[in-house]
Structure 1
Amino acid sequence: MQQNMEQYYGTEWPKEEKVKCREMIAPEARYIFVYEVPIVISNTKKRLMPTNDHKGDVVGFVHYRFIMEEELPVLYVYELQLEPCIQGKRLGKLLMQLLERIARKNCMAAIMLTVQKANLSAMFFYTSKLGYCISRISPSRVDPVVGLGKSYEILCKAFDQEAKNKLE
């Protein structure tokens, strides 16, 4: 996590890292882990060989929670982390699509997440590739002057009209 995040938080990172570590062990935290599956080469065939003994190394995860925001149930994505070696291979998009399905199956009104403004690739990923927008509860939309001083934006994808009205 530090490798992916420290550069975007700058001098705030030591404090933020402690907050994130506390968030990660909260009872309401939910996770999806991504493991690297070993490839076994036998004669001329390559094939994936997951085993019960060795799943491979964790190369990514998503941490999310079911919370209330503006009196609506939402799935909030706390972290989406992928090792640099697997970034850009559509796995982040797959994980976000999976979270959207989880949110809809659990009758959530929206998915929300926080992105550091300095993380331009993440902002582009969520807004341009996945259709998220800056939420009306994001500091830059609540008060543009105050929002300028904040290092983050809150993004949202609403699933119904009430959520669009309150969150987008």
Structure 2
Amino acid sequence: MKRREIVEKKKAISEIIKAASAPEKDHLCLFSQFRHYQYKGHSFYLKSGRGDKLSSILKHHIQNILKINMEKVYGSEWPSEEKSKRKEMVSPEARYIFIYETANSDPNQMSESVGGRGSQTVCANDTETIVGFVHFRFTLEEEVPVLYVYELQLEPHVQGKGLGNFLMQLIELIACENRMSAVVLTVQKENLLAMNFYLSKLRYTISSISPSRVNQLTGPEKSYEILCKVFGVEAKAVLEVIFSIANSAY
């Protein structure tokens, strides 16, 4: 009986991941209030996307944003890391939220395609105005269904305008709507601003699956930490560290 329960549970989790990752699914469709964001005269709008549907121009833009923000953080590791990230970006499993800045301060004046569930806000020259993106996937961590944030990148001139917080609120809503048990992400230790943003401002924790927690002898030598925010007791027992963590170092 217990074996049957385990098999049925794995099957149910697999179906959850499959449903969340459905190719035709627009993860913004249920959160119309998050399609637009304004901050002190700056106006932004969001679109959904998939890794295997990126145009060459769009790929160039997001690769450039990534390089601007991360080359210095990775240092000598950047060439190999960049190559790996380029492969990740175009994976069929990759899901995106693209952020565009527009001179039009009235969101209602921006054109929208009509197509019901899959409709997306568009602009005549949208590939020239992209200022950031979120790359995420629905996957398993320790047999727990999670939304894993691979990248959250914004061009330097739009940082500090609340967009990061806005996007992570959206990501957490998407995770809950799709029955994920947690949001998980990886942050480079050298990226102190990002570490502080997630740990202090958004109240993420260093996960029990992070290298520094898995092996306290060799783990601290790793250049990154895995952070998480969980939404249930079962996920908490698996993904969060039981003992207290001092975040003050970040």
- TM-score range (shorter-chain normalised) is over 0.9
Q: Which amino acid aligns with 1:10?
A: G
Q: Deviations over 1:40-95 (max 9, x none)?
A: xxxxxx75653442346100000000001000100000000000011111101110
Q: CA deviation at 1:147?
A: 1.5
Is residue 2:164 matched to residue 1:81? no
Q: Is the 8 A contact 1:70 1:166 kept in 2?
A: yes
Is residue 2:164 matched to residue 1:92? yes
> Which stretches in structure 2 are left out of the alignment for 5+ residues?
1-65, 112-122, 241-250
Structure holding more helix per residue:
2
Structure holding more strand per residue:
1
Distance 1:105 1:47 in 2: 29
Look up the match of 2:217.
145
Q: Which amino acid aligns with 1:8?
A: V
Look up the match of 1:128.
200
Of residues 107, 110, 135, the one that matches 1:50 is 110
Look up the match of 1:156.
228
**After superposition, where does 1:17-32 map in structure 2 within 5 Å?**
17-32=82-97
Q: Is the 8 A contact 1:140 1:153 kept in 2?
A: yes
Look up the match of 1:114.
186
The size of the alignment, in residue pairs, is 162
Distance 1:9 1:145 in 2: 23
Q: Deviations over 1:76-124 (max 9, x none)?
A: 0000000001111110111000000000000000000000000000000
The alignment yields a C-alpha RMSD, in angstroms, of 1.3
Identity %: 60
Distance 1:47 1:112 in 2: 34
> Which stretches in structure 1 are left out of the alignment for 5+ residues?
40-45
- The structure with more radius of gyration: 2
Q: CA deviation at 1:145?
A: 1.7
TM-score, with structure 1 as normaliser: 0.92
Q: Is the 8 A contact 1:109 1:159 kept in 2?
A: yes
Distance 2:235 2:173 in 1: 17
Q: Is the 8 A contact 1:36 1:59 kept in 2?
A: yes
